[in-house]
Amino acid sequence: MTISEAELDRPRKPSLFGERQRFMLLLILPAAFGLAFFQILPILTGANASFRDWSLHDPKMTWVGLKHYFYVLSDDGFLKVVLPNTLVFMAVSVAVSLLLGLCLAAILNRKFAGRAVLQTILLLPLMVAPVVAAIMIRWMFNDQFGVVNAALEAVGLSGQPWLAQRWSAFAVILMADIWLWTPWFALLLLAGLQSLPREPFEAAAIDGASPWRVFRFLTLPMLRPVMVVCIAIRAIDAFRTFDIVWTISAGGPARSTELFSIYAYNEAFQAMNFARGSAAAMIGAAIIVVLAMVIFRVLNRWVEVSK
């Protein structure tokens, strides 16, 4: 086949709906439908509702402007309990599971007998549904029938009403979350460790670096990109945690362990004020967008430095 020069010179017109494009559109159609109907539409509905008088038992749907936003932002429960709870939960859960995950990954990265077995056992929490784990833990810490109190009393200590006090309940929730997510960190960090080049470590062995210096000056900096991705994903994910808290304490006692998502849920479906719940959700969304941007900015610089 010969192509004339004029043909070659002519800029190719990108046809918007060529056969290839039609096929690609067809492929993303189901996903686009799902996204539109189950994500975008509800978000828009919620956003719309947050500006209206929209209680579930009497949905007048009249426009009230920012009234619900002012309510949420001046609610002591939101400002002094929910917001600090959420941020502390996010920071502690991510930090501790990152640290534990890193230790586990470092251990699993060494060759030793029974490593495969240990690896499987350590990864078990990943296979447990969060709600199931939460129910288990709720029972473990039950003040009358719980195994924790039974164990304490067996050694002569007095049992505690774990879930009836704010900070102990919060600690139990945190523990559950950390237990659930540490293996996830361990798995990803282990993959990261195993993909590191071998030579710098050999050079360090010849250079006489102690294991701690190797970890501190080689492993950690080289692992930073993986850690950054893990932290970013988990931090955003932790912000919207619902299932564990709902199952273990349902935000109690006296709404003292409520996280932001529980707060929004309670406002919308317990207090039956759909509008107020939506407003809380919108505020949460705004917070998490800003937070995500900050996290990415900070972590990006961190990776940049480590390069």
Partner 1 sequence: MAEVVLKGVGKCYGPVVAVRDFNLAIADQEFVALVGPSGCGKSTTLRMVAGLEEITSGVVAIGGRVVNDLPPKDRDIAMVFQNYALYQHMSVRDNLAFGLRNRKVPESEIAAQILRAAKMLGIEPLLERHPRQLSGGQQQRVALGRCLVRNPKVFLFDEPLSNLDAQLRSQMRLELKELRKRVPTTSIYVTHDQVEAMTLGERIVVMKDGLVQQVGSPLDLYRRPANRFVAGFIGSPAMNFIDARVAAAGDDVMIATEGLSLRLTDKVAATLRKHAGNAVVMGVRPQHVMLDGAGGGNLLRFQATLSTSEQLGDQQLLDARLGGTLLRVSGIDAALKLADGTMLTLAMAPENMHFFDAVSGAALG
Residues engaged in binding partner 1 (CB under 8 A) = 197, 199-200, 202-210, 213, 217-218, 221-222, 305-307
Asked if 193 and 106 touch (Cβ cutoff 8 Å), the reply is: yes
Alpha-carbon distance of 196 to 214, in angstroms, equals 13
Q: Encoding tokens for residue 231?
A: 């932290």
| CB-based contacts of 67, cutoff 8 Å, min separation 6 | none
Closest separation between CB of residue 111 and partner 1, Å?
13
Instruction: Give the Cα separation of 304 and 307 in Å (integer).
Output: 5
Q: Contact, 226 vs 144, CB < 8 A? A: no
Burial track 102-119 (b if 16+ CB lie within 10 A, e otherwise): bebbbebeeeeeeeeeeb
Choice between 45 and 195, CB closer to partner 1: 195
**Closest CB to partner 1 among residues 168, 306:** 306
In the complex, the smallest distance separating the C-beta of residue 222 from partner 1, rounded to whole angstroms, is 7
Query: Toward partner 1, which CB reaches closer, 85 or 219?
Result: 219
Q: How far is the CB of 204 from partner 1 (least distance, A)?
A: 7
Rounded to whole angstroms, the Cα distance separating 95 from 231 reads 8
Question: 2 vs 210, which CB is nearer to partner 1?
Answer: 210
As measured in angstroms, the least distance from the Cβ of 187 to partner 1 is 24
End-to-end CA distance of the chain: 50
Q: Do 146 and 139 meet the contact criterion of CB atoms below 8 Å apart?
A: yes
Q: Provide the token pair at 80.
A: 């002094």
88 or 298: whose CB is closer to partner 1? 298
Residue placing its CB nearer to partner 1 in the complex, 40 or 205: 205
Closest distance between partner 1 and the C-beta of residue 303, in Å? 10
CB of 207 to partner 1, least distance (A): 4
